[in-house]
Structure 1
């Protein structure tokens, strides 16, 4: 899939992930990128589910998820607006950014956004980078001080 190939290329060029792994299927449907400096294990994904593209952040660590939520609450920022700002900075014209936050059946804490239905491979790759840039600045996602 062109979306995943380009996203993997751009993720490697950006050098902001600890590891990058395409799914091992014959017809890969996802790309997983490990967070670089998070206080606990976390990873980003770009995946196609039933014909729709999604970008997500996953962690099993409750404290990491709560550190992100707490920083947003204390700063009064909207996560949707922060992602939108990163997308605009990367040159992606954005309609509405939607973010779901929940705990999945694998007991992982998830932040997930559906991408626009007609997203190009370039835009999908930039959504992945925008997610990383947004979350890197929140909670315990980075060990360096901003």
Structure 2
């Protein structure tokens, strides 16, 4: 597990640097070994995270406000777009060339509404893992910013 921990730590540091360079988050911190990025301009507080779990690395968007989560779901329903397709488009713009991502949406034990996707870094070098982790984090931000009330100001990209 030590090699996986080192790979994760290096991937997180790389993603943190890329997130800071992108300037699309209100704040970026490390909390308990995970990267936590506060959404910029969101109507309600929301966080993007890179989390290592037993099942692997995940990119996460979570929020406590049910209305915020429902606004995202509503936009998807009314547009007819799938979240997988929107996220895949954002990843392609960031240079990602892997498989189409999947996602899960649920309410967790802390009563937060969660969107999450597995980040496919297994078997990758630390450099590749960092690049993929940053693409997934920035892709999630770009994808969700255009949905619901994640961009309260309605700003342009």
Same fold (TM over 0.5): yes
| Cα root mean square deviation, aligned | 1.2
Q: Which has the larger helix fraction?
A: 2
Which residues of 2 match residues 120-135 of structure 1 at below 5 A? Answer: 120-135=129-144
Which residues of 2 match residues 17-96 of structure 1 at below 5 A? Answer: 17-24=25-32, 28=33, 30-50=34-54, 52-96=56-100
Asked if the contact 1:47–1:55 (Cα under 8 Å) also holds between the matched residues in 2, the reply is yes
Structure 2 Cα separation of the partners of residues 59 and 34 of structure 1: 10
Structure 1: runs of 5 or more not aligned: none
| TM-score, normalised via structure 1 length | 0.93
| Aligned pairs, number | 142
**1:96 to partner: Cα distance:** 2.9
**1:117 to partner: Cα distance:** 4.2
Which residue, 95, 101, 110 being the options, matches 2:114?
110
Structure 2: runs of 5 or more not aligned: 1-8
Residues 72-105 of structure 1, C-alpha deviations (whole Å, 9 max, x = no match): 0000000011000000110011213110000000
Structure 2 Cα separation of the partners of residues 55 and 37 of structure 1: 20
Runs of 4+ residues over 6 Å off in structure 1: none
Asked if the contact 2:49–2:60 (Cα under 8 Å) also holds between the matched residues in 1, the reply is yes
Asked if the contact 1:84–1:94 (Cα under 8 Å) also holds between the matched residues in 2, the reply is no
